[in-house]
Each structure stands twice: as C-alpha cells, then as structure tokens.
Structure 1
C-alpha cells in the first residue's frame, strides 16, 4: 500500500534559536511534539517526503534533521517510558 500511513519521527539538532523556532512551528502543523526536538506524525511516504523537503529548506549549514519511518512490525516493538503515549492508528490525536 503506497498510500498507507506510518509512524514518522522527526528529530532535529539546530543551533540557531530563530531557525529552531521556525522549524518547530512548521513541524507542529503536521506532527505532535513529544520532546523538545522530537516530533511524531502518521504520514504517507509521499507526505513524509514533502514535509522533509520543506523542513530541510529551513535549516542552516551545520543543522541536522533525521526522519524515521516506523512500519507496523517496528511499531509493535516500540516502547515509551514516561511522557504521553505514542500516536495510535486512529485518524485523530487526543491532546
């Protein structure tokens, strides 16, 4: 299924406060912040690529953005200790 959604994790390391604010504001439109520089979303592969390209354009030289797509089998092996729960397969997010 090419249009299947997967848990997608965005992790960044950005030096400039201004760039960090712009990047986090952009990611908040598509994902849920789970730590200061970590966001989770349920996205298709095409949407992940589009979000990643746009987010990368916001970065300065020396900054980094990592994007992890977690398939269903990998999701069953993920664990959370403390904090909120991982995003479920539901079409909505409870806050």
Structure 2
C-alpha cells in the first residue's frame, strides 16, 4: 500500500545568519514559508524525514530544528489564523 501524504510543519531556531539563510533557501524550494522560521507542506512521512535529515545536515550544534507530521485527525484539530492556506489534499497547480 502506498504511503499517504500528510501535512508537515518544519521549523527552526538557528543562531548564525548565514546558516539560517542556507536552511531557509533549502526549505523554500520544497515547502511553503508561513512564518519567518516556519514552513509547511504536504508529503509522505518518509519524504519528510529525508527532508529533515538533509536540513539537519546544514545546521550547527546548538541550533534547533523540528519536524511535525500531522495526521488527518491532528490537522482537523489544528487551528490557524491569517496567511494563505495550504492546497487541499489532492489539489495541484498547473504551470
């Protein structure tokens, strides 16, 4: 059975500006930036873990990087205010 996609939240607290910029650039190519150091997207958990590992390789000791994988139930219990919503499950953008 194929692994289903979930909403993921990846956030960081990084001390050095150069490292912050490198991590932000890396994540902006793959996720939607919803706050200065918070990114969201939809992907399978295994892909999210690989993304996290790649981002973790860019940070320094003492920095903080967190990944949250939200189940459908967890997402339904979550709340947001402001900002652009993420595309619905199954939605796509044609360029």
Task: State the TM-score, normalizing by the size of structure 1.
Answer: 0.89
Q: CA–CA distance in 1 between the matches of 2:26 and 2:68?
A: 17
Structure 2 residues without counterparts, runs of 5 or longer: none
Structure 1 residues without counterparts, runs of 5 or longer: none
Q: CA–CA distance in 2 between the matches of 1:23 and 1:53?
A: 12
Task: State the TM-score, normalizing by the size of structure 2.
Answer: 0.89
Spell out structure 1 runs of 4+ moving beyond 6 A: none
Measure how far apart 1:28 and its partner are.
1.0
Equivalent residues, number: 93
C-alpha change, 1:2 and 1:13, in structure 2 (3 Å) is farther
What's 1:60 paired with?
60
State the secondary structure of the residue aligned to 1:73. Answer: helix
Alignment RMSD, CA only?
1.5
